[in-house]
Amino acid sequence: MNISIDRSRSAALAKLASAEFDVLVVGGGIVGSGVARDAAMRGLRVALLDRHDFAFGTSSRSSRLLHGGLRYLEQGHIGLVREASVEKKTLQDIAPHLARPLGFVFPAYRGQGRPLWQLRIGVKLYDLLCRGGNFLPSRALSPAETLAAAPGLDATKLSGAVRYADALTNDGRLVLDTLRSAERHGGVLANYVCFLGAQRDGVAWRCTAEDTRTGRSLSLRALTVVNATGPWAQQIPHSSVRLRLSKGIHIVVARERLPVKDAIVLGEGRRILFVLPWGERVILGTTDTDYDAAPENVTVDASDIRYVLRVVNEAFPQLRLDCSDIISSWAGLRPLVAQADGTPSDISRAHDIRESRPGWWDVTGGKLTTYRLMAEETVDELQRRLGLRARCRTATESLLDEPPLYSGIEPPALTREAVAHYVHHEWAKTLEDIMVRRSGWHYLQRDSANTAQIVACWMADLLSWSPEEQQHQIESYRNSTRVAA
């Protein structure tokens, strides 16, 4: 295969091999990108590596919500809800193009699930934890108002609902814009570079890595190392992490099949499932089940789909969604800090930042909404080790210093100019990078083969692919996005 390396990548790889860094971040997901941005903004010399593409794992496969976690209140995790509630408002301040307030309607039924009085108290407390005021004030809804907000909802024993607010985001775009900010402040970033190991060398770490696209070996030196690899964290050499991976899947259907204005919260035992309006589509999810296979192999299984369809069809009795309604789907993993007992739904989403060896930090747990806070706390720890005291500015300075190319929530138009931007300014190397994580266009279409062919032609021109490489990219994309039977 003829693999072209663009000049910016060549320059980044050369810097990795020639400079000493204050911090090496391993993992280009939401947490790693946040650490890299914060550290670079405080004047630290920062490098970041990811063995896959940026946002390859959990960070582009979430429910796409910025939320405090209403259901964590009933588990007693008030502190966790408060910090996430504050952070979702902070993210709206620094990245308004990636935080769209959205109403959530949570129905209550007599004799089952959470009673209406409990939900009313919960959402009022939820408002107070958001700096004293949420995106929108919560309120109770009568049964008639509930049915107007959710046409077709089961009316049997319906006692009403509550309406509260969180925000919809684009998780993959949030990672990429955070990385663009890190690079703008001097960070050296490289995807498709695999961290192989590190040895303590006096006051620093001597690290080895490999460019997975060429097989080239790299050696670099860093005073500190941050393991921010999410579901892969316990596989990294020197890691002290013990995870319990929880799998969540989402499916996408046409909004005309579920014409909801607000998001709908469906209670299912201790779990909840969301119906999320997303442009002309609706996202349905998520599941919450244990997962013990390789993180890169997580897929949407038929049993997952049956579960989601069953819950939604029971809530909307006349709907009768089936597999033929599914436009697209995705599966991701929550990297939960392992506990001795409790189902995945019971495990706290609290994060853990631990210096397991001098100059080595493992950062695990948490969730998309709290990534900026996790990064701030991590860089505070790094500075103490390095004897520095620069203040954190990530909560007050905008993520981008120029207008965004798109609103950020729904996938933008996929043009040749957009593809060129992704290749030249956002590290896109493969067809999947653009179709799935840069544009999100893959999730809009039941069959994306024609669009993929066109994008592959544009990328071939930009990256000097041979015909064989172009065909290889198309086949790899098809295989990587296939749903398990």
Number of compact structural domains in the chain: 3
Task: Give percent above pLDDT 90 in the chain.
Answer: 85
What is the rounded average pLDDT of the residues 254-279? 93
Give the highest mean pLDDT range of 11-25, 61-75, 332-346, 375-389: 375-389
Residues 302, 435 share a domain: no
Residues 332, 420 share a domain: no
Q: Which long-range contacts (CB under 8 A, 24 or more apart) does 68-71 make?
A: 68/126, 68/129, 68/130, 68/166, 68/369, 69/349, 69/367, 69/369, 70/104, 70/106, 70/122, 70/123, 70/126, 70/164, 70/265, 71/272
Question: What are the tokens at 304?
Answer: 């997952």
**pLDDT of 482 higher than 80:** no
Residues 154, 108 share a domain: yes
Domain boundary among 278, 309, 341: 341
Q: What does the pLDDT look like over 383-436, one tens digit per residue?
A: 999 999 999 999 999 999 887 877 689 888 899 999 999 999 999 999 999 999
Question: What are the tokens at 471?
Answer: 């065909």
Residues 6+ apart with CB under 8 A from 432: 53, 476, 477, 480, 481
Is it true that the peptide bond before 343 is cis, omega within 30 degrees of 0?
no
Output the pLDDT for position 403: 78
Residue 339: band (very low, low, confident or very high) from pLDDT cuts 50, 70, 90 = low
Residues 201, 164 share a domain: no
Q: What is the CATH number of the domain that holds 134?
A: 3.30.9.10
Question: What are the tokens at 432?
Answer: 């999947």
**pLDDT of 3 higher than 70:** no
Residues 424, 381 share a domain: no
Asked, for residue 400, whether it belongs to a domain, the answer is no
Asked, for residue 81, whether it belongs to a domain, the answer is no
What is the rounded average pLDDT of the residues 274-281? 96
Question: 472 and 6 in contact (C-beta within 8 Å)?
Answer: no
**pLDDT of 108 higher than 60:** yes
Coil/strand/helix, residue 255: coil
Asked, for residue 72, whether it belongs to a domain, the answer is no
Q: What does the pLDDT look like over 74-89, one tens digit per residue?
A: 888 899 999 999 999 9
- Neighbour tally for 450: CB within 10 Å: 9
Residue 106 forms beta bridges with which residues? 162
Angle at 333 between CA 328 and CA 339, to 5 degrees: 155
Predicted TM-score (pTM) of this structure: 0.95
Output the pLDDT for position 344: 52
Residues 254, 163 share a domain: yes
Asked, for residue 473, whether it belongs to a domain, the answer is yes
Q: What does the pLDDT look like over 115-130, one tens digit per residue?
A: 999 999 999 999 999 8
Asked, for residue 440, whether it belongs to a domain, the answer is yes
Asked, for residue 437, whether it belongs to a domain, the answer is yes
Question: Residue 332's closest CA among 204, 175, 184, 188?
Answer: 175
Residues 237, 311 share a domain: no
Asked, for residue 403, whether it belongs to a domain, the answer is no
Which helix (H) or strand (E) segment holds residue 441: the answer is none
Output the pLDDT for position 412: 84
Q: What is the CATH number of the domain that holds 371?
A: 3.50.50.60
How many whole angstroms separate alpha carbon 27 and alpha carbon 24? Answer: 10
Residues 258, 163 share a domain: yes
Residues 218, 188 share a domain: yes
Asked, for residue 39, whether it belongs to a domain, the answer is yes
**pLDDT of 90 higher than 50:** yes
Question: What are the tokens at 298?
Answer: 């997580």
**pLDDT of 485 higher than 60:** no
Residues 270, 218 share a domain: no
Residues 202, 160 share a domain: no
Q: What does the pLDDT look like over 188-246, one tens digit per residue?
A: 999 999 999 999 999 999 999 999 999 999 999 999 999 999 999 999 999 999 999 99
Residue 310: give the domain boundaries. Answer: 99-169+244-341
Question: 360 and 205 in contact (C-beta within 8 Å)?
Answer: yes
What is the rounded average pLDDT of the residues 173-197? 97
Residues 152, 301 share a domain: yes
Output the pLDDT for position 393: 98
**pLDDT of 318 higher than 90:** yes
Output the pLDDT for position 363: 97
Q: What does the pLDDT look like over 117-165, one tens digit per residue?
A: 999 999 999 999 987 778 999 999 999 999 999 999 999 999 999 999 9
Residue 341: band (very low, low, confident or very high) from pLDDT cuts 50, 70, 90 = low
